[in-house]
Each structure stands twice: as structure tokens, then as C-alpha cells.
Amino acid sequence: MLTEDRLTRDFTIFQRAKGHRFSSDDMVTAYVAVHAGTAPATILDLGCGIGSVLLHLAWSFPSARLVGIEAQAMSFELLQQNVARNHVSDRVTVHHGDLRDGVVPGAFDLVTGTPPYFPPDTAVDAMDEQRAFARIEYRGGIEAYVEAGARVLAPSGTLVLCGDARTEDRLAAAAQDARLHVVARTSIVAHAPKPPLFAVWTLRWDFAPRAESVLTLRDAEGRTTPDAAMLRAFSGF
């Protein structure tokens, strides 16, 4: 069963009722990417799933040309439907393939990705195949996304990646191997005062002093915060 849900004020997205569904990590990734620098002319979304980040960026940057790549067959089918549903096929191209294979050539101003959070030996597989591939690193984790992003990142481009907040050391090592600099980290606290659930890192070729920020979505009493309201406003709600 599919549901059609509003992604932004003007874009909707088809997603399976009991499958992989877009969530706050997608919205924060898009938010950080939009505010990471000047408006990009070309954008690549790695492992784009059903298209939540890709389409949010298409909505945010109406003059950009975008490319997405997704390996999981069920997600790719929905991705194609979502691109067509929002009438952006003239400037959004999607590929069915593994991001590690280098099937998307070019040099992109902005590259984004939301890797799975869990190595195969540290998490129980979701019962649903689509959800499992979105959660578990069957095709590589954040290191694979850094390597793939570095291959196609323009000299002045920006790479924005979301991941488990505890993968800081893995992200840093991968960035060093790729000769990229981590210039910012946005930590996301789902429910205060718990520790950050996930983080979004900004990487560039050129060094810059690292910026740190925190977004808190619910306070200690469970109420939505000004940060959560800001993310809704960012999506046009």
C-alpha cells in the first residue's frame, strides 16, 4: 500500500505505508545543504532512496539540474514515480545503480547523501527488504559515500552527508583519505536531554575553521521546539 505525503509546500511523495519512509534526517540534510553555500547549478544525491532529499533540493533550487542514484529496486521504482509526480523530469535525472561503481560522471557543485546507519553485524535486519537496505550498510557506509562524493565533487563544491552521530571517527578518517576537510557539523537531538541521534557533516576541498551547531526537535517535556518549527517553515509549511 502506498501513501502520498507532502514533502514540501508544493511537492508530494509516494512512499510505502509499511516500508522505508522519509523522516527528519532527510529534512535536516536538505536544510544543511541549502544553507551550505551559494545556489548550486548541479546537484547529485547519492543513494537517494525514494527521492526525499533529491526532490526537496529540486524544490529549493528551481534553476538547478539534479541527478540521483539508487540501487535498491523497490525504492528506485518509487523514485521514478516521485520525479514524474512532481513534474521535474526535465531537470532531474535518476539512475538505477550502486554509487560505488562510479556510474555517474561529472563535477557537481553540491553532493548529498544519507548513508545507512548500521553495519551489518551490529543491527537486526528489518523484516521489510526496502527498510533493511535503507538502515543497514549492505552496500557500504559513510566511507563509501565520502569516496563516491569525492570522485565527482567540483573544486569549489560542497559535500553534505548525514549519519549516525557516533560515526564521527569514521567520517573523519574517510574525509582524510579523500583529502577533504570537514568544515561543519550539525548535531540533531531528537528529544532533549538525550544525546544527538544523528549528525550532518559539511565537507569541502579547502580548509575552513569548523563550525558546530545543534538542532533540537523536542524539549524535555516532549514539546516541539523552535528548531522543529524552523524546519517546517523551511519546507514551506
pLDDT tens per residue across span 15-63 = 999 999 999 999 999 999 999 989 999 999 999 999 999 999 999 999 9
| pLDDT confidence tier of residue 123, bands split at 50, 70 and 90 | low
Which pLDDT tens digit goes with each residue over 164-197?
Answer: 999 999 999 999 999 999 999 999 999 999 999 8
Question: Does residue 121 have a pLDDT over 80?
Answer: no
Strands 65-70 and 92-96: parallel
Domain enclosing residue 226, as ranges: 2-234
- Average model confidence (pLDDT) across the chain: 94
pLDDT tens sequence across 207-218: 999 999 999 999
pTM, entire model: 0.95
CB atoms within 10 A of CB 221: 7
Average pLDDT, integer, range 64-86: 97
Q: What is the domain count for the chain?
A: 1
Give the Cα separation of 145 and 112 in Å (integer): 9
CATH code at position 57: 3.40.50.150
User: Rounded to an integer, what distance in angstroms lies between the CA atom of residue 30 and that of residue 90?
Assistant: 21
**Structure confidence by residue, pLDDT tens digits, 133-142:** 888 888 889 9
The total of other beta-carbon atoms located within 10 Å of residue 55's CB is 29
Give pLDDT, residue 125. Answer: 59
Supply the pLDDT for residue 126: 57
